[in-house]
Amino acid sequence: MESATLHFLSQLAANNNRDWFQENRKHYDAAKADMEKLVGYLIEEVGKFQDLGNLQVKECLLRINRDIRFSKNKAPYKNNLSAGIGPGGKSAGKIDYYLQIQPGDQTFLGGGMWETTSEQLARYRQEIDYNADELKAIIEDEKFKAYFPEIQGDALKTVPKGYSKDHPEIELLKRKQLFFVHRFTDKEVASRDFGKHVLKGIELLKPFADYMNYVLYEQPTEH
């Protein structure tokens, strides 16, 4: 990424209003083009080891405009550029590789179970109860854990209905969200090899994303 992209986003955070944005539209356009170039590179490279179909860059990019209808925060723009890369793009409704570019060492690559239905949570817990070894082999792998050190997201404070507090996988069963994140410094983002670093993270994340997509969207509800 160009350092100018991070600079624009920093300036936007300090001047988050429509007048300033319109006056600096050319800087936004340059930052967006920079993001498009990165996403285009990632689509091409990920496509070498995962079938992305005819995925287009525009299908991955999220809008910079915020939905402020139900928010107390009325700032009209996000302070970041973001994309969801995976089969079908950002609107596929499945787990993808989420990349968010945000200055202040806040850039991250992430993926996992985040917004789930009660049926999907039931599927997940059924799978963990039946056989947690497959998931644990992925997320406890040495390389995965070094890159994605801890589980992110919410968990129940009590035992989920239908399961014993003595269950050997009770901590995984309590999860309502199961998300992994790797953060990048601004220096890393502005480096020439940033795209390759993100690609490495996607390769590590793929087995987890594949597993969760199967559990949440593809597997039968009963074994």
Confidence of residue 221 (pLDDT cuts 50, 70, 90): low
Q: Tokens 């967006």 appear where?
A: 32
Confidence of residue 220 (pLDDT cuts 50, 70, 90): low
pLDDT at position 178: 97
Between helix 194-213 and helix 25-46 the angle, nearest 10°, is 60
Q: Which residues contact 139 (CB under 8 A, 6 or more apart)?
A: 145, 148, 151, 180, 208
84 φ/ψ angles, rounded to the nearest 5 degrees: -115, 115
pLDDT at position 222: 53
What is the rounded end-to-end Cα distance, in angstroms, of the chain? 46
What ranges do the domains of the chain cover?
3-218
pLDDT digit string (tens) for 104-159? 999 999 999 999 999 999 999 999 999 999 999 999 999 999 999 999 999 999 99
Distance CA 137, CA 116 (A): 23
Confidence of residue 223 (pLDDT cuts 50, 70, 90): very low
Portion of the chain with pLDDT greater than 70, in percent: 98
Q: Which residues contact 8 (CB under 8 A, 6 or more apart)?
A: 24, 27, 28, 30, 31
How much is the pTM? 0.94
pLDDT at position 73: 87
Task: Give the ranges where the chain is alpha helix by DSSP (H).
Answer: 3-14, 18-23, 25-46, 118-130, 133-139, 142-147, 170-173, 186-189, 194-213
Report which listed range, 69-73, 87-91, 185-189, is most confident: 185-189
How many residues are present in the chain?
Answer: 223
